[in-house]
A and B are shown apart, each in its own frame.
Chain A
Amino acid sequence: MFRRIYSYKFLLPAAIVYIVIFIVPTLMSFFFSLTRWNLSTYEFIGLKNFQMFFSEPSLLIGFKNTAIYAVVTSGLKVVLGLLLGVFLTLGLRLTGYLRSVVFFPTLVSTIAVGITFTVMMHPTEGIINMGLQMLGIDGPDWLGDRKLALLSVAFVDVWKGVGFATVIYIAGILSIPQEYYEALQIDGGNSWNKFWSIIVPLSRPATNSVIILSFIGGLRSFDLIWAMTKGGPGFATDVIASIIYKQYQGGFYGLATAGNVILFIFVTLLVYPLSRYLTKNEVDL
């Protein structure tokens, strides 16, 4: 009887859209990554697209950059998000204001943020280097320096996304039972102990969420990089997602699809063990 009430008909509209627009293309990508095609006709070429990806330096750099970008952004979001989360649960004045200010960039268009920072990061006239000059520091060429450009974009990514990490941490810290703090007070612990022995271990679920979500986001990120550097200077900030776009623009659909398959494998291979490892070490409250 419940089978009739909770009929699978309810799933039908979602299933149709999800299968046709998401599942089918995902499955087909494995096939088309082995071809040279132009949407209407294709030619089977085996693993040549993948060989290309692993031999061409301009494509190979995408792996390295994607990994660096994901690690740097998620690492900084964890550290800064935790510190901001602690700071915003101290019960200071201005907490409501600060929380709003930190969170708002999350809601602003990535393209708008990218353009604004690109202008502010101008090497000679941008306000960032002007400000540094007032402090007597010679600012670098943030987006023009091959070694620095990827980190500069990652820094903007953190500026925009840290508010999200912060609100997750605030929720996590506020859910820690009061008794732990009372016990610590009886034992005579200071605020240093409070941070390391209570807040850090007991906000582990929040840490795990922040790591997983920002790591996935970092691996897939495209729009901020595209708005700021388009992968340049040279290929210094090219990630897998921007390489996919470039190959698509060039009409190399098979190669672009191979890029998608590689990104798929890259993401699953890293995220699945990471989330298993993180949840295994979670502490029960």
Chain B
Amino acid sequence: MSKRVQRFAMEFIALIASIVIFWIPLYFVIITAMKSPREASLMDLALPQVNLLWENIKEVFVYRDYMLVRAFYNSTVLTLASIALLVIVSAMAAFVMQRRTDRFTPWLSLLVLMGLIIPPAIVPTIWVLDGLQLFKTLPGLILVEVALGFPFCAMLYRGFVASIPKEIDEAAIMDGYSGFKLFFKIIMPLLQPVTATVIVVQAVTIFNDFTNPLYFLPGVKNVTVQLTLYNFTSQFVSQYNLLFSNILLITIPPLILFIFFNKRIVAGMTAGAVKG
């Protein structure tokens, strides 16, 4: 009996702690987004007198000539294009890196591993992008996201390619398949579970990325959602209701991914972590 009481006490304490530590901040964001500027400036947990959530969200969207709409558009293009490139480029590279063993392969692995550890050199990257006339452009930023996301994705793919028996390759080769046909017709479909993992993990990472857009995509025309939020902190100093409406809006896409792909995200992140 006392064991059951003990268990119940532990569960109860955990529940209270989770509410205080995790739900109160979320509640704070939501109710502040519903308030008038005056109420929001009190920074408290009181309920709003009138729910102005809808008005606040509209105001945030309209602000500065629909800047946030442009930001959502840019972030969506950035996320989708980077993921599409990452999937194809990393899967192809991982396939050959796992299957081939010669003098170069250890060096290749080392080079990829370095990408996981070394912080990117900022200004020289700008210099390279500038030379290619890609600085301050969305395609330039997409290439940066691909280059920086590649090591993690390649590692995930390589781990999975190792579990595909080589006999499958051999059978296909016997049937006269070329390397590319083998990869695109047989291997790539088999990699589908990792592809799903790569897509959701990178979607969250790239959508939430702040540092790279800050450096490589400056300018009002080029904002991403994280940049607008950051810029709003100086523009909405006395309008926390609008600032937190924006926070709420930005949190929705990851929340949707989390609700539908919770297991995949966790699996992908832990797999990447343990192998690295």
The answer to whether A104 and B93 touch across the interface, beta carbons within 8 angstroms, is: no
The answer to whether B89 and A13 touch across the interface, beta carbons within 8 angstroms, is: yes
**Residues on A with beta carbons closer than 8 Å to the beta carbon of B255:** 104, 107
The residues in A between 243 and 276 inclusive whose CB is less than 8 angstroms from any CB of B are 244-245, 248, 253, 256-257, 260-261, 263-264, 267-268, 271
Is A20 on the interface with B (CB-CB < 8 A)? yes
Contact of B42 among A112, A115, A125, A171 (CB under 8 A): A125
The answer to whether B118 and A92 touch across the interface, beta carbons within 8 angstroms, is: no
The answer to whether A257 and B97 touch across the interface, beta carbons within 8 angstroms, is: no
The residues in B between 91 and 134 inclusive whose CB is less than 8 angstroms from any CB of A are 92-93, 95-97, 99-100, 108, 111, 115-130, 132
The answer to whether B148 and A109 touch across the interface, beta carbons within 8 angstroms, is: no
Q: In the bound complex, what is the Cα–Cα distance between A118 and B209 (angstroms)?
A: 19
If over half of B's interface residues share one DSSP class (helix, strand or loop), that class is named, otherwise mixed; here it is helix
The answer to whether A109 and B122 touch across the interface, beta carbons within 8 angstroms, is: no
Which of the candidate stretches A21-29, A51-59, A145-153, A179-187 sits at the interface with the other chain?
A21-29
**Residues on A with beta carbons closer than 8 Å to the beta carbon of B207:** 109
B270 to chain A, nearest CB (A): 5
Closest to A28 in B: B124
Closest to B102 in A: A3
Q: Give the A-B pair count, Cβ closer than 8 A.
A: 244
Is A122 on the interface with B (CB-CB < 8 A)? yes
Closest to A96 in B: B262
Q: In the bound complex, what is the Cα–Cα distance between A119 and B253 (angstroms)?
A: 23
**Residues on B with beta carbons closer than 8 Å to the beta carbon of A285:** none
The residues in A between 55 and 71 inclusive whose CB is less than 8 angstroms from any CB of B are none
Known: A32-B123, A103-B266. A108 touches B251 (CB 8 A): yes
Q: Mark B1-44, 1 if CB is under 8 A from A, else 0.
A: 00000010011001100100111110011001000000000111
Is A6 on the interface with B (CB-CB < 8 A)? yes
Known: A6-B100, A98-B14, A267-B119. A112 touches B229 (CB 8 A): yes
B198 to chain A, nearest CB (A): 13
Q: In the bound complex, what is the Cα–Cα distance between A101 and B14 (angstroms)?
A: 11
Q: In the bound complex, what is the Cα–Cα distance between A106 and B268 (angstroms)?
A: 13
Instruction: Using C-beta atoms within 8 Å of the partner chain, give the interface range for chain B.
Output: 35 or more
**Residues on A with beta carbons closer than 8 Å to the beta carbon of B29:** 112, 116
Is B192 on the interface with A (CB-CB < 8 A)? no
**Residues on B with beta carbons closer than 8 Å to the beta carbon of A20:** 128, 132, 143, 147
**Residues on A with beta carbons closer than 8 Å to the beta carbon of B52:** none
Closest to A94 in B: B11
The residues in B between 218 and 276 inclusive whose CB is less than 8 angstroms from any CB of A are 225-226, 229-230, 233, 240, 243-244, 247, 250-251, 254-255, 257-258, 262, 265-266, 269-270, 273-274, 276
Closest to A208 in B: B274
Q: In the bound complex, what is the Cα–Cα distance between A211 and B24 (angstroms)?
A: 29
The answer to whether B124 and A14 touch across the interface, beta carbons within 8 angstroms, is: no
Known: A6-B100, A107-B258. A22 touches B229 (CB 8 A): no
Contact of A220 among B99, B119, B130 (CB under 8 A): B119
Q: In the bound complex, what is the Cα–Cα distance between A43 and B229 (angstroms)?
A: 38
Q: Mark A114-138, 1 if CB is under 8 A from B, else 0.
A: 0111011010011100100000000
The residues in B between 117 and 161 inclusive whose CB is less than 8 angstroms from any CB of A are 117-130, 132, 143-144, 146-148, 150, 154
Contact of B119 among A92, A101, A260 (CB under 8 A): A260
Known: A7-B96, A159-B21, A264-B118. A209 touches B276 (CB 8 A): yes
Is B210 on the interface with A (CB-CB < 8 A)? yes
The answer to whether B147 and A17 touch across the interface, beta carbons within 8 angstroms, is: yes
Is A139 on the interface with B (CB-CB < 8 A)? no
Q: In the bound complex, what is the Cα–Cα distance between A9 and B183 (angstroms)?
A: 12
Q: What would 13 A/B residue contacts be, using CB atoms closer than 8 Å?
A: A11-B96, A21-B146, A87-B14, A94-B15, A102-B18, A103-B262, A109-B225, A119-B240, A245-B122, A261-B121, A264-B118, A267-B118, A267-B119
